[in-house]
Amino acid sequence: MRPPRAPTRAEREAAAQAAPVRLSEPPPPMPAPAVQGPAGWDGILQPGEQILWRGQPIRRIRWGKLVAGVVFALGFCGIGGALSLAAAREGSLFWLVGLVLCLLGIAALVVTLLDERMRRNDTFFTLSDRAAYIARRHWAKGRVLESWPIRAGMEIALQGGDKAGDVIFASRTTGRGKEAEIEPVGFFDIIGAPEVFALLKHARDARE
């Protein structure tokens, strides 16, 4: 029986190249992919901030506020029209005052209707684990973004139910002097308000 043939140099080099390479240390872990926020939120969200919920008001008219604004505007128009007619009959220039009042009433009516439409169609709510955001379009200011940080111990309130409810998390003063009023701030007329309230409460408690 012949002894086995010794491998040639070429065979030894081919076997060395085919053998698996054993590393003395494990390879470094692959870097985690960067998590980016939604489009349009660059420069708004803080690093690591996570969005919990996004929504809009349901498209229903707030008749109380709308009717009050319309009545106020029509009252101006009525008074201005009456003064203009009376002054015109007497040949007085006082009809200009009535015309100004009438124009102010028309402007107030347009602003009231436009503000209600923008409130329903151009208002967007966002809740993150660090802040509550209200984005809206104002008839005079254009696009407005309000940011309300979530703080430990902040007072929050829930009104309404699943079909239409309010989640209130802040307040602000409007007007000056005797006409100053405290206005609540929150997510108004939203669907699933109890769930949004629970998310906000959990985010608030996590800050403590």
Which residues are CB-neighbours of 203 under 8 A, at least 6 positions away?
52, 127, 128, 129, 130, 150
Domain boundary among 75, 90, 118: 118
Count Cβ atoms below 10 Å from residue 40 Cβ, excluding itself. Answer: 8
Higher pLDDT, 72 or 199: 199
129 and 201 together in one domain? yes
Enter the pTM of the model.
Answer: 0.61
Domain boundary among 91, 118, 145: 118
Cα dihedral 60, 61, 63, 65 sign? positive
pLDDT over threshold 80, residue 140: no
What's the average model confidence in pLDDT over 36-47? 73
131 and 199 together in one domain? yes
The pLDDT tens digits for 24-41 are 455 555 443 444 456 667
What's the average model confidence in pLDDT over 149-175? 90
148 and 191 together in one domain? yes
The pLDDT tens digits for 97-130 are 777 777 777 777 777 777 777 777 788 999 999 9
112 and 158 together in one domain? no
**Lookup: tokens for 197:** 């309230």
130 and 184 together in one domain? yes
97 and 165 together in one domain? no
130 and 180 together in one domain? yes
**Mean pLDDT, the chain, as a whole number?**
78
DSSP E strand stretches across the chain: 51-55, 123-128, 131-138, 142-149, 157-160, 165-174, 181-190
Report which of 184, 72, 186, 83 is spatially closest to residue 127, judged by C-alpha positions: 186
113 and 151 together in one domain? no
In a domain, 175, yes or no: yes
**Lookup: tokens for 200:** 């906000």
Total domain count, the chain: 2
- Structural domain for 182, as ranges: 123-206
Determine the pLDDT at residue 126. 94
